[in-house]
Structure 1
Amino acid sequence: MFIIQASAVRSALAKQNPSGEREPSLRCSPLGCSPFGARRVSVHGRRVARSAPRPRLLCRKLDDKQVVTDYFNTTGFERWRRIYSDSEQVNRVQRDIRLGHAETVHKVLGMLDAASVDWATHTVLDVGCGVGSLAIPIAQRNPKYLLACDISTAMTTEARTRAEQLLTADQFARCAFRTADLESIPETERFDTVCCIDVLIHYPTAQAADMIDHLSKIARQRLILSFAPRTLYYVLLKRIGDFFPGPSKATRAYLHSEKEIRETLERNGWRVQSSAFTATRFYFSKVLEAVR
């Protein structure tokens, strides 16, 4: 599960409003933003703040992809580069997320190993590759070809650098790293296995479904994806986060119904073959392996 900082939302708003005119105040929560700031009303002759929303204000819709791109190309890049490394310059929460993500990667690799893939003829696409945490160990299994892509140029550059350091010359030669939005990958560019790990959390349900639809046209045999499950416990957990403002507050993170994700996969001709779940104190992720 990725966490985007509120500063990324403010940065995107600034780009959309270069004139500097004041925008409706946004009250950010882990599930999105609200333009309904405090409103002053008169009670017994005194002006007091009221938290009721102002119906005439409409929440400005932010481009989720732009928010993600900006964040992982700027402040988020250094933060997540440290988390997904051996650096000791991480706090307790970041270390916990590191362990959770590593466990998810391990489970995905286990799914691929259990499938007895013929790597000599197998092609793989890793979308949302980040710094290469999954792409590199897949490349070490010697697939015929691996494409790792991410919406962030900084991330794909880091992934390429790490791959060059950790892979043999032959392994590296059969890999490609590309900065790309997953929906921009042409349907004619098909792969035996497509992995989409810790990506859907950045997008609302409808957009996530569109992404799965698109990836289904690219994947031939197997689609492995992860998402933050929408359960009562996690919904409450994220709502509680509303009461703790601050620079490290998570925002624009979306939970998804496992039932809806499965229905989207089935609609695209997939059958869920296996699943796995990772939960630490600050990281939770459900993985589904779908096959045809």
Structure 2
Amino acid sequence: MVNTTKKTIDDKTVVKEYFNATGFERWRNIYGEGKVNKVQLDIRQGHQQTIDTVVSWLKDDGNLSQLSICDAGCGVGSLTLPLAQEGATVYASDISAKMVGEAAERIKQVMKNPRNIRLGVQDLESIRGSYDTVICLDVLIHYPTEDAAKMINHLSSLTKSRLILSFAPKTFFLTLLKRIGEFFPGPSKTTRAYQHKEEDIVKILQDNGFQIKRTGMTSTSFYYSRILEAVR
């Protein structure tokens, strides 16, 4: 008898393998300063807008240098570096060892022997510790809502007062773009991409004792990210 059961690979494994292989070079280039195509440049600019929004929120509060921050899913350190330069104590981690290695190299180029940054290779649910603020940007797009909920629940347990998230919002327009292949690259170039209803994410945060303080939206031709700041 032939076994026709298809072997499935969980999203976490897909993400880890992708960002330690073909995805690493692609996204290191997008998040860097090298030459990229028009779509990649648009994504780079959109991602930077999200970073700038979050950094401006934290700076506006006037106490950034006094904060301990967990940058969960730090990638190449695009957020970690400006936070550390402002004096925050940052623990940055990513599921991809290659991404963390690249973050370390970029930090060394800008900051000599930084004592306020620690780096680690971990998935979101393996992070431990207690932080004033936990931030998770452009990570939830890789996971369905039920898995994202578990991750948000865990991140909520790590923060004393604030959790900042970004995610691809689920709207009719963006769903249509995704379906016709104009929003996300093909499967050979990326991981699976998931959109989330904002009310679902807000409900998860509320269930963990948070209320929404600030919201933001980054919208370019190929990059869409809803940003929520939740506080206790």
TM bracket (short chain): over 0.9
Is the CA contact (8 Å cut-off) linking 2:64 and 2:87 kept in structure 1? no
> In the alignment, is the contact (CA less than 8 A) between 2:14 and 2:191 conserved in 1?
no
Tell me if structure 2 keeps the 8 A contact 1:139–1:167: no
Describe the SS at the equivalent of 1:285: strand
**Partner-residue secondary structure (3-state), 1:216:** helix
Cα distance change, pair 131–251 in 1 and its aligned pair in 2 (3 A)? closer
Give the direction of change, closer, same or farther, for the CA distance of 1:234–1:221 in structure 2 (3 Å limit).
same
Contact 1:270 1:290 in 2 (8 A): yes
How do 1:124-163 and structure 2 match up within 5 A? 124-143=69-88, 145-163=89-107
Distance (Å, rounded) in 2 between the aligned partners of 1:58 and 1:273: 47
Give secondary structure in 2 for the equivalent of 1:224.
Answer: strand
Residues 1:98 and 2:44 aligned together? yes
Work out the CA distance in 1 between the residues paired with 2:5 and 2:55. 44
Deviations 1:175-214 (A, max 9, x none): 111000110113xx11001110000000000000010000
Counterpart position of 1:107 = 53
**Contact 1:111-1:289 within 8 A present in 2 as well:** no
Identity in percent: 50
RMSD between superposed Cα atoms in Å: 2.1
1:70 corresponds to which residue?
Answer: 17
The answer for the alignment partner of 2:213 in structure 1 is 273
Contact 1:241/1:249 (8 A) holds in 2? no
Q: Does 1:214 align with 2:161?
A: no
Among 29, 33, 53, which residue is 1:86 paired with?
33
8 Å CA contact 1:151, 1:182 repeated in 2: yes
Gaps of 5+ in 1: 1-22, 24-56
Gaps of at least 5 residues in structure 2 are none
> How many residues were matched structurally?
230
TM normalised by structure 2 equals 0.93
Instruction: Determine if contact 1:274/1:289 at 8 Å carries over to the other structure.
Output: yes
Quick one: structure 1 residues 137 and 118, their matched pair in 2 at CA, closer, same or farther if it must change by over 3 Å?
closer
Tell me, what secondary structure is at the counterpart of 1:241? coil
Q: Secondary structure at the match of 2:49?
A: helix
TM-score of the superposed pair, with normalisation by structure 1: 0.74
1:181 is the counterpart of 2:115: no
Shift of 1:115: 2.0
Q: 1:117 to 1:279 in 2, by over 3 A?
A: same
Residue by residue, what CA displacement relative to the aligned partner does 1:16-54 show, whole Å, maximum 9, x if unpaired? xxxxxxx9xxxxxxxxxxxxxxxxxxxxxxxxxxxxxxx
Please show how residues 197-236 of structure 1 align to structure 2 within 5 Å: 197-236=137-176
Residue matched to 1:61: 8
> Which stretch of structure 1 is more off in the superposition, 60-69 or 279-288?
60-69
Larger Rg belongs to: 1
For each residue in 1:258-283, what CA deviation from the matched residue of structure 2 results, as whole angstroms up to 9, or x when unmatched?
A: 00000000110111100100111111
- Alpha-carbon contact 2:18-2:191 (below 8 Å) kept: no
**Which structure's relative contact order is higher, taking Cα pairs within 8 Å and 6+ residues apart?**
1
Evaluate the alpha carbon distance shift between residue 87 and residue 245 of structure 1 in structure 2; reply closer, same or farther with a 3 A threshold: closer
